[in-house]
């Protein structure tokens, strides 16, 4: 089956620093990737939709200048949390949609971000 | 914003029993999907049911969809301890391509 990887799986950083999270589709091409945030014991909230070669579409209430998304190729999207603060600590999950399979999204294993 | 509401929020059962959880949503949909998430891990896609389907089976899973009531149910039969996880429904709107998740049901299967 389709595999999506995320790196790193866990990161701890100091307040004020920036953190980059990578999302890769390993065995398929993904024109669209999605970034979600999940707080403890809560559901996934969509942050933004990342389209290869174009600007990301952000959900209402998500600061585009704080959460920078780059989707430079059909297999890689990156999320950079800029000037991270403790309230940004969360579980960040990406998903990718196969170019050939419109309905199904394949999820990465997630990245646990802790901002001290 | 969350489209779906799930109930119950938590469910505790004995191994071998069936587990049923429900999902309600607000807008017209193209399809509804169920996912499982083990603690601190990513999501695993379980089953997709389209708006013109009423019931679907996959192994020990049975999903129903009632578009008139805007609701879906997931039944896990003969549960196992390994089924312990959080289960989420997610909808794709009729004119959209985004998944909108429900609040989830935490299922604990006791051996």
Q: What is the pLDDT of residue B2?
A: 45
Q: What is the pLDDT of residue A94?
A: 96
Interface contact flag, A44 B102, Cβ < 8 Å: no
DSSP code at position A59: P
Chain A closest CA to B71's CA: distance in Å?
A: 18
CB B22 within 8 A of CB B15: no
**Mean local confidence (pLDDT), B13-18:** 97
Residue B88 has pLDDT above 80, yes or no: yes
Residue A42, class by beta-carbon neighbours within 10 Å (0-12 exposed, 13-18 middle, 19+ buried)?
A: middle
Chain A closest CA to B63's CA: distance in Å?
A: 17
**Mean local confidence (pLDDT), B50-68:** 97
The CA-CA-CA angle for residues A48, A29, A49, to 5°, reads 5
CB A63 within 8 A of CB B107: no
- How far is it between the farthest Cα atoms of chain A? 41
The tens-digit pLDDT sequence of chain A (116 residues) is 689 999 999 999 999 999 999 999 998 888 899 999 999 889 999 999 998 888 899 999 999 999 999 988 889 999 999 999 999 999 999 999 887 766 778 999 999 999 99
Higher confidence at residue B107 or residue A28?
B107
Q: What is the pLDDT of residue B94?
A: 78
Q: What is the pLDDT of residue A103?
A: 73
Q: What is the pLDDT of residue B4?
A: 66
Residue B87 has pLDDT above 90, yes or no: yes
Q: What is the pLDDT of residue A48?
A: 95
Note whether A25 contacts B: Cβ–Cβ < 8 A.
no
Interface contact flag, B99 A46, Cβ < 8 Å: yes
Structure token pair of residue B4? 């779906």
Closest residue on chain B to A44 (Cα): B101
Structure token pair of residue A62? 């998500």
Residue A80's CB: how many other CB atoms inside 10 A?
14
Interface contact flag, A45 B45, Cβ < 8 Å: no
Q: Which of B34, B39, B43, B95 best probes binding to A when mutated, by most A CB atoms within 10 angstroms?
A: B43
Q: What is the pLDDT of residues B28-39, one digit of tens each?
A: 999 999 999 998
Sequence-distant (≥ 6) Cβ neighbours of residue B109 within 8 angstroms:
B13, B14, B15, B19, B79, B80, B81, B82, B83, B84
C-alpha to C-alpha distances, A21 to A73, A88, A91, B18, nearest whole angstrom = 15, 13, 11, 39
Query: Which residues of chain B are within 8 Å of residue A10 when distances are taken between CB atoms?
Result: none
Q: What is the pLDDT of residue A102?
A: 67
Sequence-distant (≥ 6) Cβ neighbours of residue B30 within 8 angstroms:
B50, B51, B92, B93, B94, B95, B96
Q: What is the pLDDT of residue B41?
A: 87
How far apart CA B104 and CA B3 sit, in angstroms, is 12
The CA-CA-CA angle for residues B11, B17, B18, to 5°, reads 70
Q: What is the pLDDT of residue B3?
A: 55
Chain B closest CA to A51's CA: distance in Å?
A: 12
Chain A closest CA to B85's CA: distance in Å?
A: 12
Structure token pair of residue A65? 């200048």
What dihedral do alpha carbons A93, A99, A103, A108 form, nearest 10°?
A: -20
């Amino acid at each position: 089956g389709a595999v999506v990887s995320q790196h790193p799986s866990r990161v701890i950083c100091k307040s004020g620093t920036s953190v980059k999270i990578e999302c890769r589709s390993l065995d398929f091409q993904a024109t669209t990737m999605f970034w979600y945030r999940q707080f403890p014991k809560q559901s996934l909230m969509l942050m933004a939709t990342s389209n290869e070669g174009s600007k990301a579409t952000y959900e209402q209430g998500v600061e585009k200048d704080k959460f920078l998304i780059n989707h430079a190729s059909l297999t890689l999207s990156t999320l950079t949390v800029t000037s991270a603060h403790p309230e940004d600590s969360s579980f960040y999950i990406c998903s990718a949609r196969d170019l050939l399979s419109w309905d199904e999204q394949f999820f990465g294993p997630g990245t646990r971000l802790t901002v001290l | 914003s969350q489209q779906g509401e799930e109930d119950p929020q938590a469910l505790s059962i004995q191994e071998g029993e069936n587990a049923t959880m429900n999902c309600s949503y607000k807008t017209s949909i193209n399809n509804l999907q169920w996912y499982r998430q083990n603690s601190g891990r990513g999501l695993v896609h379980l089953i997709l049911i389209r708006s013109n389907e009423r019931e679907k089976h996959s192994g020990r899973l049975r999903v129903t969809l009632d578009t008139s009531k805007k609701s879906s149910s997931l039944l896990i039969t003969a549960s196992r301890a390994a089924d312990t996880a959080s289960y989420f429904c997610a909808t794709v709107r009729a004119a959209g391509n985004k998944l909108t998740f429900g609040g989830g049901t935490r299922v604990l299967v006791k051996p």
